Amino acid sequence: MPMSQGEYVRSPNRFDERITADGSTRWPVEAGRYRLAVSLACPWAHRSLIARRLLGLEPAISVAVADPIQDERSWRFTLDPDDRDPVLGITYLAEAYHAADPDYDGGISVPAIIDVPSGELVSNDYPQITLDLATEWTAHHRPGAPDLYPKPLRDDIDEINKAVFADVNNGVYRAGFAGKQEVYERAYHRLFARLDALEERLTDQRYLVGDTITEADIRLYTTLARFDAVYHSHFKCNRNKLTEFPALWGYARDLYQTPGFGDTTDFDHIKRHYYQVHTNLNPSQIVPLGPDPDTWLTPHGREQLGGRPFGDGTPPVPTADQPVATEVTNR
């Protein structure tokens, strides 16, 4: 991980080509052509799984799930027979990166969209991937799919996303991987100042922007889902637990109990990845048993705030390739 003056610096996304509906790029929208490589542990990849599920894109875009435990070559498909992804025929995600650029020597990250015929990585640009799923793949959305990035609300969504990314999504990493005390403290205070502001915002409204689920909710949820299980202890973000924020905890449970969120959340993969891969932070590699995942299924009472989760649409129905079961797992 790159560091500057003891501060964690997230690497830019090297592969940022887009898949478009109008033919303006070399990658056209085409059902069955692309495969989405994810880790169920990774919050950035988790976003794409939620969006894909909410929009009903499972028949159009297949998914490859990596082992939550990386080795020196990063993400690997050792959950599959013969340790190879059955569609791409590769053991390591790095093989798709090098098919796109044989000289690439940077980090290997998920989510990654791969062109199946060529085996080339198309994009690892996680912020744009979910936006394009919502706006470029509309011809393949299921009937009743929600509008996750409605045009009238895009400025507001972009604004809240920018703040949440800087202080929360990336903020927990800036705290957890800080190399100096003052750098850690700065990230810590920014994180909890933003969580306090979000707590206030969500006390009287069900969702972050408007009265339906949007891209903004997806981006915040994936960090909240990992907060008490990982970030509170492992990343030293321990002023408060998520469960000690009444509005945020209710909001997170509301989303978790909404199809598309809880059924793509795997606490086992999440905990094993962070606690067993980050040996600099957890040399023993012991994975904590708690928190109790059943608390995510307790009543949240957020319905009284109104709002319509899917707007004029409908919830997604279960599909054969859902990466995890519809109930929380802690295998």
| CATH-assigned architecture of domain 151-305 | Up-down Bundle (1.20)
Is 42 tagged catalytic? yes
Question: What percent of the chain is predicted at pLDDT more than 90?
Answer: 91
Q: Is the pLDDT of residue 221 over 80?
A: yes
Arithmetic mean of pLDDT, 277-297: 97
Domains in the chain: boundaries: 3-140, 151-305
pLDDT value of position 275:
98
Question: And the tokens for 207?
Answer: 């969702």
- Cβ burial 53-89 (10 Å sphere, 16+ → b, else e): bbbbbbebbbbbbbbbbbeeebbbbeebeeebbeebe
Q: pLDDT tens digits for 50-104? A: 999 999 999 999 999 999 999 999 999 999 999 999 999 999 999 999 999 999 9
Binding residues for glutathione: 75
pLDDT value of position 321:
54
Q: pLDDT tens digits for 16-48? A: 999 999 989 999 999 999 999 999 999 999 999
Q: Please pick, among 8, 34, 97, 173, the residue that the annotation labels catalytic.
A: 173
Q: Please pick, among 42, 126, 149, 274, the residue that the annotation labels catalytic.
A: 42
Binding residues: 75
Q: Map tokens 């989303």 to a residue.
A: 255
CATH of 3-140, picked from 1.10.150.120, 3.40.30.10, 3.40.720.10, 3.40.50.720, is: 3.40.30.10
Indicate the length of the chain as a whole number: 331
Confidence of residue 318 (pLDDT cuts 50, 70, 90): confident
Confidence of residue 320 (pLDDT cuts 50, 70, 90): low
User: DSSP assignment, residue 122?
Assistant: E
Enumerate the H helices of 142-243 as residue ranges.
154-164, 171-176, 181-203, 215-226, 232-234
Looking at the whole model, is its pTM more than 0.75?
yes
